Amino acid sequence: MRPFIVRISPDTVTILALMTAIIAGVALWQHLFLAAAALILLNGFFDILDGEIASKYGASRRGDLLDHTVDRLADIVIIIGVIAGGLVDITIGAAAIVLVLLVSYIGTEAQALTRKRLYVGLLGRADRLVLIAIGAAAEIFWAASLSLIMVLIILLSAVTFGQRFAKLWAMLR
């Protein structure tokens, strides 16, 4: 079996993704918007990369648990960075966290009930990360960018949760 570029465990890449998200959250808190945008995109890249390595060389149930847990922690820490930086009202930030977690929950609940992970809907994790990265970069020019992005994430996540719930409901007939 040939290594993927270099021999690296998908779990190692998952941990790199978490560290990148934590640093991105700190960058948002400190208003280092371009660094935050780059780190958020890097987090998304690591999230894709760990999945590619796992699918190529064999995923484990522990790796799947680690990946999904780290993704949720990364989502939370990035949004907390937005809140801590005073870039969004705490109520909006908290609502964004809850809805992001609900969207992810319904996807993993589908996996528990049907053995198939559910990714349908308007706003997936990659889309969310791109939106936040764009908002962070735009924050340099327009101070309400991340606040607007968080409201957009709330709305699109609510729709996505509804879409996933309806799909799972139909699958369980």
pLDDT in the model for residue 56: 86
Q: Which domains does the chain have, with CATH numbers?
A: 10-166 (1.20.120.1760)
Which residue carries 């319904």 as its tokens? 106
pLDDT in the model for residue 59: 80
Contacts of 60 (CB under 8 A, 6+ apart): 54
Interatomic CA distance for residues 102 and 133, integer angstroms: 21
Q: Which two tokens stand for residue 167?
A: 């799909």
Within its chain, how far is the Cα of 25 from the centroid?
12
pLDDT in the model for residue 122: 96
Mean pLDDT on 109-130: 94
Lowest mean pLDDT across 4-8, 102-106, 134-138: 4-8
Question: Percent of the chain having pLDDT more than 90?
Answer: 88
